[in-house]
Structure 1
Amino acid sequence: MSFMTNKDGSAIQFEQLIAHFEERSGASPLLEHCVHFEDAGAVGRYGDLSLRSAFQPLFLADSMRAAAHEALLRVDDDRQRSISPEQAFRIPKTPERIVHFDRLCRTIHAINFAAQAGPDAVLYLNVDGRHLLNVQGGTHGTFFEALLGHCGLRPGQVVLEILESRINDFGRLTEAIAAYLQRGFGIAIDDFGCRNSNFDRLWRLSPDIVKLDRSLIVQSTANPRARKILPKLVEIIHDLGARVVCEGIETVSQHSLAVDAGVDMLQGYLYARPAERLQHRPTSPMAGTAARHPPGF
């Protein structure tokens, strides 16, 4: 298959894309047939693992319209056993294979997203922290910008999610984020509020988006003190110039608390579960109930 077609009718330059991927990733037995196509779309191959895409929408809190979609990895081995993304990302050990695996996952997601998305659609992609530390010389984004071009996507349509609390080398992290921002990528700090997350890092990184860890909304549901703190946390992040996503929403009460707190976007099983096809409206009956109630119901 030499090309796939984007939603707008333009072609994904498949042969050029794979040539670019293999040329920049280096020679390795793992690269043989690293991407192929099934009815559901592009599938990656890494050793005995098959890598597929699932997409979960992020909804605007004021209109419940999908503002973007986050790509999530789905992994199976040759025996059709499901493997968690966390397990899969622990398999590559050397710097070269870590970079290769991270790029392969993002390549699969970009192809599958571009085949469905409109011309201004936004894609959220997770980046392995080890990848950031293993790419040298502030060249982050060079490879991926060219790859996106073969898919008909622009860096401005992509938000890279970074789990900064797991990266100890803050200097390298800052260098990576600066390089991505210079190329036009959006930056989201993921799972803020867990582990070693702190406002000092947030202030110095200046991300476009902050995604609150699910534990914050869960605590706010059960703990009156946490409930009072959540709106203040959102206000501080807004003052830093970033938008706020509350993820992991599973109940109507969590939806109400998040909206009351002033978050900009919502994500979670209450609205839509990850799926191969892009979803643009909430699919859950509970989400419809939540959307009809004003904040504070």
Structure 2
Amino acid sequence: MTFVRHKDGSGIKVEQLVAHFEGKGGGSSLLKRCVHFEDCGAVGRHGELRLRSAFQPLFLAATMAAVAHEALLRVHDVKMRAVSPEQAFKIPKTPEQIVHFDRLCRTIHAINFVTQAQPDAVLYLNVDGRHLLNVHNGTHGSFFETLLGYCGLRPTQVVLEILESRIGDLDRLVEAIAAYQRRGFRVAIDDFGCRHSNFDRLWRLSPDIVKLDRSLIVQSTVNPRARQILPKLVDIIHDLGARVVCEGIETVGQHALAVNSGVDMLQGYLYAKPAPHLQYRPQSQMAAS
């Protein structure tokens, strides 16, 4: 049996994890089919694509302590040419391919996270909206919960980020979010404020966390009306029972606006750029002060 060491010394049951992922019996050959290990950690294989992880921390606005890390996909082809995540997610076409690719990305991230993180650490994972629509009968999260167990992660340690504005079938989205939450996963609505995002959808979705689209903080730095609206927007989301993340912070001025608006968490290049290793302190001393 193959193990990869967790930071606390426990083992990740890699062969069992991959066997469950493939839906077949054991056998080390499965490791060569979709997951292998390099010095940088676990690497996924999907056709000619190689899938790796980068992590960006989220900081508490009140203390600037890192409270979670978001996993971001980094993709290269066999010639090590970079492929954007958006391009990579367009490659799977059939429902089976879409589900397989989305699960593979999250599995790679989970493995790379637990080999570095403390036992109770929190991981944010993006979920392809098409995946949500291709899983039926309220079974969302059941397969992934088992995979997480092989990694030593619990659903309560995972926040699933969903870009709800791209999903037209609201009833199916409500069903998916409720199913995830029943299993203990928390759900974050990503990029709220862009496209067709609106509060009517938020009321129905009942997310645990709302991540504000970067355009809101950018507009607040140049538009007095937007600057007045931002704290009111945060108050409304709090009234819905959700916490607020302001992402895409790149300047000290944006940092101050976000903090003064009452957001709960902050994320952006001002504090830390995505990296293969977990980061726990803001790189900018001005933001940390």
Band the TM-score falls in, shorter-chain normalisation: over 0.9
Q: How far does residue 33 in structure 1 lie from its aligned partner after superposition?
A: 1.6
Q: Secondary structure at the match of 1:72?
A: strand
Match of 2:190 in 1: 190
Match of 1:262 in 2: 262
Match of 1:138 in 2: 138
Structure-1 separation of matches of 2:18 and 2:249: 37
Are positions 1:275 and 2:275 aligned together? yes
Aligned partner letter, 1:238: H
Are positions 1:252 and 2:249 aligned together? no
Kindly report structure 1 stretches of 4+ aligned residues shifted beyond 6 Å. Answer: none
Query: Residues 44 and 105 of structure 2 are in contact (CA less than 8 Å); yes or no, is this contact kept in structure 1?
Result: yes
Match of 2:166 in 1: 166
Match of 2:287 in 1: 290
User: Residues 41-80 of structure 1: matches in 2 within 5 Å?
Assistant: 41-80=41-80
Q: How far does residue 32 in structure 1 lie from its aligned partner after superposition?
A: 5.7
Match of 1:114 in 2: 114
Structure-1 separation of matches of 2:153 and 2:121: 9
Aligned partner letter, 2:251: T
Structure-2 separation of matches of 1:275 and 1:38: 16
Structure-2 separation of matches of 1:199 and 1:236: 9
User: Residues 68-107 of structure 1: matches in 2 within 5 Å?
Assistant: 68-107=68-107
Q: How far does residue 290 in structure 1 lie from its aligned partner after superposition?
A: 2.4
Structure-1 separation of matches of 2:21 and 2:31: 9
Match of 2:27 in 1: none
Query: Residues 22 and 31 of structure 1 are in contact (CA less than 8 Å); yes or no, is this contact kept in structure 2?
Result: no
Structure-2 separation of matches of 1:92 and 1:200: 31
Match of 1:217 in 2: 217
User: Residues 227-246 of structure 1: matches in 2 within 5 Å?
Assistant: 227-246=227-246
Deviation digits for residues 1-48 of structure 1, max 9, x if unmatched? 811011111100111001100007xxxxx9962000000100000000
Structure-1 separation of matches of 2:20 and 2:81: 31
Match of 1:40 in 2: 40
Q: Secondary structure at the match of 2:63?
A: coil
Q: How far does residue 66 in structure 1 lie from its aligned partner after superposition?
A: 0.3
My pick for the range that moved more, 235-244 or 31-40, is 31-40
Are positions 1:20 and 2:42 aligned together? no
Q: Secondary structure at the match of 2:33?
A: coil
Structure-2 separation of matches of 1:241 and 1:175: 19
Deviation digits for residues 42-73 of structure 1, max 9, x if unmatched? 00000000000000000000111101000000
Query: Residues 18 and 31 of structure 2 are in contact (CA less than 8 Å); yes or no, is this contact kept in structure 1?
Result: no
Query: Residues 282 and 288 of structure 1 are in contact (CA less than 8 Å); yes or no, is this contact kept in structure 2?
Result: yes
Aligned partner letter, 2:229: I
Structure 2: gaps of 5 or more residues? 25-29
Q: TM-score, normalised by structure 1?
A: 0.94
Identity across aligned pairs (percent)? Answer: 78
The RMSD of aligned alpha carbons is 1.2
Structure-1 separation of matches of 2:246 and 2:286: 18
Structure-1 separation of matches of 2:145 and 2:192: 27
Query: Residues 124 and 159 of structure 1 are in contact (CA less than 8 Å); yes or no, is this contact kept in structure 2?
Result: yes
Aligned partner letter, 2:84: S
Q: TM-score, normalised by structure 2?
A: 0.97
Q: Secondary structure at the match of 1:33?
A: helix
Aligned partner letter, 1:290: A
Match of 1:127 in 2: 127
Q: How far does residue 153 in structure 1 lie from its aligned partner after superposition?
A: 0.4
Q: Secondary structure at the match of 1:4?
A: strand
My pick for the range that moved more, 31-40 or 60-69, is 31-40
Structure 1: gaps of 5 or more residues? 25-29, 293-297
Query: Residues 245 and 264 of structure 2 are in contact (CA less than 8 Å); yes or no, is this contact kept in structure 1?
Result: yes
Deviation digits for residues 168-226 of structure 1, max 9, x if unmatched? 00111011101100000000000000000000110111111000000000000010000
Aligned partner letter, 1:14: V
Match of 1:149 in 2: 149
